[in-house]
Amino acid sequence: MADNIENIIEGCRRKEPNAQRELYETFSGKMFGVCLRYAGSYQDAEDVLHEGFLKIFEKIYQFQSRGSFEGWIRRIMVNTALEKYRNQYKVINIQDNIKEPEYDSFEDLTDNITAKELTEFIQALSPKYRIVFNLYAIEGYSHKEISEMLNISEGTSKSNLSRARAILQDKVYKYYSRSIRVETL
């Protein structure tokens, strides 16, 4: 597979349509999942995916075969999603004073939620919460890195993450409560 990827990369550097198609077919499914986490809708995720692949084809010569090619593609997709976010929404530095809900055993609640349902819950977050949640919880960036990427304070990043978690916990709890009531009827 590694040799095949190297051949695809070389073909893309030569701007060969078949190599570009093969690269897209190899990585689009996994990268669509990345885009979907950042986007507010399925269509927005498709837009980010396509914009991201255009950038990949444009900048493929910059990949130096150091590190993971998939990681390089992923970073382009995340940056494309962030760019779309910055262009669509004005970021306001506001500290939210939100009381987080307290549940006895939140971990038990998530056992009954599918990945698709959780993705829908994340997509329903406001853009500022969704972006910070994904960058921190999924991509593993620090609050300092997030603050630099989004041009917000570290405190705002922490606050947005806290609020996103509280909202997600509340959504999962309400979902779980409804499914328990339906099962007992």
Enumerate domains of the chain plus CATH numbers. 2-88 (1.10.1740.10), 106-184 (1.10.10.10)
Q: Which two tokens stand for residue 42?
A: 């399925």
Alpha helices in 14-142 (DSSP H): 17-38, 42-59, 69-88, 106-110, 115-123, 127-133
Ranges under pLDDT 50 in the chain? 91-107, 109, 185
Q: What is the pLDDT of residue 112?
A: 63
Question: Any idea of the CA torsion for 132, 136, 139, 140, to the nearest 10 degrees?
Answer: 160
Q: Which residues contact 79 (CB under 8 A, 6 or more apart)?
A: none
Q: Which two tokens stand for residue 106?
A: 């939140």
Q: What is the pLDDT of residue 40?
A: 81
37, 160, 169, 173, 183 from 104: Cα distances, Å: 27, 23, 11, 11, 21
* Cβ–Cβ < 8 Å for 93, 157: no
Tokens 């991509």 appear where? 139
In angstroms, the CA 74 to CA 76 distance is: 5
Q: What is the pLDDT of residue 96?
A: 45
Q: What is the pLDDT of residue 118?
A: 82
Q: Is the model's pTM score more than 0.75? A: no
Tokens 């070389």 appear where? 10
